[in-house]
Amino acid sequence: MNVIEIKDLVKIYNSSEVQVKAVNGITINFEEGEFTAVVGPSGSGKTTFLNMLGGLDRPTSGSVKIGGINVWDLSSRKLIDFRMNNIGFVFQSYNLIPVLTAGENVEFIMHLQGRPKKEREQRTKELLETVGIGDRIKSRPAKLSGGQQQRVAVARALASKPEFILADEPTANLDSTATSGLLELMSQMNKKYNTTFIFATHDQRVMDKARRIITIDDGKIIKDERFER
Amino acid sequence: MLFSISWRNIWRNKVRSLVIIFSIALGIFAGVAATAFMKGLAEQRIQKVIKTELSYIQIHKEGFRQNSDFKGYMPDATQLVSEIRKIPNVIGATERIVVQAMAATAETATGVLVSGVDFENEPKVTNLSEKLIEGEYLKGIKKNPVVIGKKLAEKLNAKIRTRIVITLQDTANNVVSGLFRVSGIYTTNNNMYDESHVFVKAADIRSLTELPEGAAHEIAINIDDNENLPLVEESIKKLATGYEVLDWKSLRPEMNYLTEAMDLYMYIFIIIILLALLFGIINTMLMVVMERTKEIGMLMAIGMNKMRIFFMIILESTLLSLTGGVVGIIIGALFSKWKSVEPIDLSMWAQGYEQLGYDAYVYMSLDPMMLVNITIMVIFTGVIAALYPAYKALKNDPADALRME
């Protein structure tokens, strides 16, 4: 079953002198439970593609349907709520809220969703234990290593029970041990919760784990491969 | 949780936040202290006018206050006074014979207002008898004692026992003179008053002017508390029908305006302080928002709506302002409390102050309602200061913000 249906997606950036087609007519579908890497050289349009997919960057034309809803038809207010309830984000530089503890960072999105305190606390504890840092629940991000911060970010992304998680270069700032640990974790989460993971990456270790690799260049899909892993 | 984030965000850059908190605290402290000082000054002035010059309530025959006609007396004044003394909350009542006159020594002469007082009951109404710097209050001189102000004594070159001739018109419009001797010299620290008011015994002026027994021009009444003024005034009005019954606010309207004007000036002063602080807070909050562009973009990305982001920034600015405000208010209130017991010594400028009728020692007085209003104004300032930075934050595009390094 298709979770995401993308049709003729185009993004043109207009600078003062030239027009840049960052994404140039992408049509593609993602199914539930996929573990997909979107790869390509720097400037190929991976991040722009992911941003449009995640409802962050408005496309110049084309549509992004998630669960049958064209996200770019939503009002900006509804789009924010849609993101909150359906999409989890993991960023390259973790982007945790520095003044909140690991636990509070995970809990925060559930607070935005208006979930009861007891449920929030229980799920936060469970998620942090699942990502292997249950003992650091009271630590602030500054007291955590890069790998640990990214684990908190994954727990946060999962906290809202999203349809899928978009991860933009999640391993770019991590050493190899942290990277393999994180990839293993995300792979487990993918299997455990059947959550769709879509990565933008040029990290070979991520590609080695992915069951589908979409290669983009000059804003176009040039390859779409599936692997049994 | 938003409250917690906003509060903790304040302390992300401790030095910057402490600088702005200190500025706000200092400004508010200055505002609170100045307010307490001005209020103390005004209250002391009013109390002095009531206790020394006016009393709480006065009764006159209609028109007497305008034309000071000697024949404008109340024939039943003594009778009325004895009835007024029975009213609850009245702690003193006395009648006065008031006449404009000429006071002359061997050297010079000047116009004065003579009050013929019941020297036993007058101290229950006014405290002029406590303001003597020399001599005694209508005592120590066998015949016709007079108490004069220090300024008048200087003008007439009079000392204790100096003879003063008081010339006035009696009830039949005849010019009559009496020889008085200075028994005491007072000072109220209000030079204008001291220069023009002299006090003699009512009996002495009565015999000189042949004013009927039991008659007087003025009845002055002292009460236990200003709070009871309307109640007592109402009771007196029922007794003194046909006469003009006025409280101190009507007798000296400028005294009433004084407190209102002081309050107004103080609010203007505090608004100016807050306006200056406003720009400092705006600057801080703009820096905060610019520094956190990426973070705000991330918050928008994960689902924090604009209203919440707006509220978070408003809350941060308000908490920052309120922290400084509360510190300033506490220090200002403690300082004012201390200075309500230990007066501020302005004796260095005493002459100027006293010319205007103010005390050289000022006991601060703080109105708790003023503190509540200042707190509200500080909160309001915090909110106003955050509006533009919050608007800037909302203009962020999450995708652009997240691209920032």
Q: How far is B396 from chain A (nearest CA, A)?
A: 11
A76: which chain B residues are within 8 Å (Cβ-Cβ)? 306
pLDDT of B334: 94
Q: CB contacts < 8 Å between A and B, how many?
A: 63
pLDDT digits (tens, 9 = 90+) for A51-62: 999 888 899 999
- A225 at interface of B, judged by CB pairs closer than 8 A: no
pLDDT of B355: 66
B306: which chain A residues are within 8 Å (Cβ-Cβ)? 76-77, 80
Q: How far is A89 from chain B (nearest CA, A)?
A: 7
A107: which chain B residues are within 8 Å (Cβ-Cβ)? 1
Q: Are A157 and A140 in contact (CB under 8 A)?
A: no
Residues 6+ apart with CB under 8 A from A196: A3, A4, A30, A31, A32, A33, A34, A35, A36, A163, A164, A165, A190
CB contact under 8 A, B305 and A56: no
- Does the reported pTM lie above 0.90? no
pLDDT of B17: 92
Strands B57-61 and B243-247: antiparallel
Q: How far is B311 from chain A (nearest CA, A)?
A: 13
- B308 at interface of A, judged by CB pairs closer than 8 A: yes
B308: which chain A residues are within 8 Å (Cβ-Cβ)? 112
Q: Which parts of A91-226 fold into alpha helices (H)?
A: 102-113, 117-130, 146-159, 176-193, 204-209
CA nearest to A108 within chain B: B1
CB contact under 8 A, A99 and B306: no
* Cross-chain CB nearest to A80 (options B9, B303, B397): B303
Contacts 24+ apart (CB under 8 A), B229-235: B229/B56, B229/B57, B231/B89, B232/B56, B232/B57, B232/B87, B232/B88, B232/B89, B232/B90, B233/B57, B235/B87
Q: How far apart are CA B392 and CA B386, in angstroms?
A: 10
- A5 at interface of B, judged by CB pairs closer than 8 A: no
A99: which chain B residues are within 8 Å (Cβ-Cβ)? 5, 8-9, 12
A81: which chain B residues are within 8 Å (Cβ-Cβ)? 303, 305
CA nearest to A106 within chain B: B302
CB contact under 8 A, B5 and A107: no
- A99 at interface of B, judged by CB pairs closer than 8 A: yes
Residue B140's Cβ-side half-sphere holds a number of Cα atoms within 13 Å equal to 15
Low-confidence ranges of chain B (pLDDT < 70): 350-357, 404-405
| Chain A interface, best mutation among B302, B308, B316, by max A CB count within 10 A | B302
CB contact under 8 A, A107 and B308: no
pLDDT digits (tens, 9 = 90+) for A109-119: 999 999 999 99
B396: which chain A residues are within 8 Å (Cβ-Cβ)? none
Residue A215 has pLDDT above 80, yes or no: yes
**Strand A61-66's sheet: what is its strand order?**
A19-31, A2-14, A61-66, A69-70
CA nearest to A159 within chain B: B302
pLDDT of A1: 64
CA nearest to A52 within chain B: B399
Q: How far apart are CA B196 and CA B70, in angstroms?
A: 18
What CATH number does residue A113 fall under?
3.40.50.300
Read off the pLDDT band of A139 (50, 70, 90). Answer: very high
Task: Tell me the Cα Rg of chain A.
Answer: 17
Helix axes B229-239, B77-84, angle to 10 degrees: 140
Residue A21 has pLDDT above 80, yes or no: yes
**Domain span at A112:** 2-226
- B368 at interface of A, judged by CB pairs closer than 8 A: no
Q: What is the count of structural domains for chain A?
A: 1
- B14 at interface of A, judged by CB pairs closer than 8 A: no
- Average pLDDT of the residues in A169-194: 83
- Average pLDDT of the residues in A156-172: 87
* Cross-chain CB nearest to A83 (options B12, B301, B402): B301
Domain boundaries, chain B: 2-49+255-403, 63-241
Burial of B11 (0-12, 13-18, 19+ CB in 10 A): exposed
